[in-house]
Amino acid sequence: MAWNSFATPLIGKAVRAASRLAHGGGSAFPGKIVERIDPQFLSRTLAQLPLGVVLVSGTNGKTTTTRMVASMLQSLGLKVFTNPTGSNFTRGVVSSLLAEVSLSGKLDADIAVLELDEAYAVHFVKQVPPDYCLLLNVMRDQLDRFGEIDNTARLLSKAAEATTGTVVLNREDPRIARLADVAHTEDGVEVRYFGLDESLRGFFPSDDDMSTTVDAEAHDSAEHGGNIGDSGNTGDTADAVAAAAPATSQPQDGPDALPADVTLRAVGDHRATFAIDGETYETAVKLEGVYNLYNAAAALAVVRAVAADAQAMFLPFEDALADSVDADGVDAGTETDGNGSHDAIDQAAADEILRAAGVSPRMIAFAHATTQAMIDTAGEVTPAFGRGEVITVNGTPVELLLVKNPMGFRLSLASFKPEGCDTMICINDEYADGRDMSWLWDVDFTSLRGTGVKAVSGVRAWDMALRLEYDQVPVESVSTDLEESVVNFVNANSGTPKHIYCTYTAMLKTRAALAKIADVADAGVGK
């Protein structure tokens, strides 16, 4: 065994411990050190996983969808390695691995579910070709980082091209759906799609459809109650929304010509309806926002792909164990019942056979997972930090809503009615947010006219206030002192629910401010 199999984990863990003492939280610095001293650490460690690697990328929804996939697989019995704090670049993944590997370099997991930034995914797949690749969407987001939107699609195409098992694509996004062309289907790579019922497409326009605002229709639908979509069950509401929705940028034979493995048919108040294999499944959900229900469809599609492979890989071992019983029913792996029959395989002996083959009983159990079981696990997933996360401050619920591009902001505004709540918007322009804030002018804020915005803060507070003034949205206070503004905002109007829309670094600073006055879960970042 090579020296670095032992030395790298030891050095990496030491650097990680020192970094946490110095910075008090998560850091990519240990990953940087390990990448330099042992460039093969990432690929060597992830190669241990019997079910391989799931890569999740795209503009919107990466963190939440990664959390959903990992949570669902864990609930179905697998041991999952993931990068839960949004350290979505190779160095961050390496740092996360250092927390999980033993000193001998052993990673005790069955599968990895990793969120990767669109640009860093290109570097990751050169080292670790993923077994599964889930690509969500392409939207205008931080164009000062990636350039034109087609360049972002090209970055994601590298991930699809490198995938060795199954590529799962959003059929409603034409740039994503077209990536099926680069998947190596001639080598056995499978392409699956997740999609929307036609009645829901107006809520999730592609980037090319952003010229028409759908926020008002979403608010009207929520006020009327009932499900959105699934027109056979909801009457006039879905028809009105569909009529007002922008025309899809797909050709007439576009999305529906692609068979979706999982289709989101309808959404309601914390409920979702999915169509899978010709059957309809409805479930309650704990996630907030209609966009997260579409993320659930994406997560279900990739979990189903993993389960299908697990069935092909592991269920034959059950047959092999059964066949190991000889014609008389006597075998080292059998025991007799009270009548002298040899028809039961001794569990300990069976487990030993599985271990020798590198198969754990939990993998066998996962291979038996039903679609209903997958739906049930999707309903239990809770929001990722800052993505619809609710923090209680002195008995008042404060909901953090990450926004980073026009589509994400539009869908958040459409999902959360401002009536009966206080609203705050925090905008920063650090590197992780994107320096160019001109995208704020592509968001329609008119739904906030009636209630106004209590506070605007962050580095670009005055830019945001100007944008709201243009849409005739009243603003009570504007300040670039984010911590002071957040504390004042949550302490005012005690008992009134609060919504805070914030860019990424503003969200981290908001959580840090709230952590001083309330119980906030440690996400390992932003400290």
Residues noted as catalytic = 436
Give dist(CA 102, CA 224) in Å, integer: 55
Q: Coil, strand, or helix at residue 82?
A: strand
Q: How far is CA 329 from CA 316, 337, 339, 353, 362, in A?
A: 20, 11, 13, 17, 26
Within 13 Å, how many C-alpha atoms sit on residue 526's CB side?
21
CB 108 within 8 A of CB 79: yes
Give dist(CA 222, CA 263) in Å, integer: 21
Alpha helices in 199-289 (DSSP H): 215-224, 231-234, 236-244
Can you spell out the DSSP letters for 158-172?
HHHHH-SSEEEEETT
Closest CA to 25 of 459, 518, 508, 510: 508
Question: Scanning the structure block, which residue is given the tokens 């947010």?
Answer: 433
Q: How far is CA 3 from CA 8, 41, 45, 90, 303, in A?
A: 8, 12, 14, 23, 36
Within 13 Å, how many C-alpha atoms sit on residue 181's CB side?
8
Q: What would the two tokens of residue 321 be?
A: 């164990």
Question: Scanning the structure block, which residue is given the tokens 């994503």?
Answer: 176
CB 114 within 8 A of CB 133: no
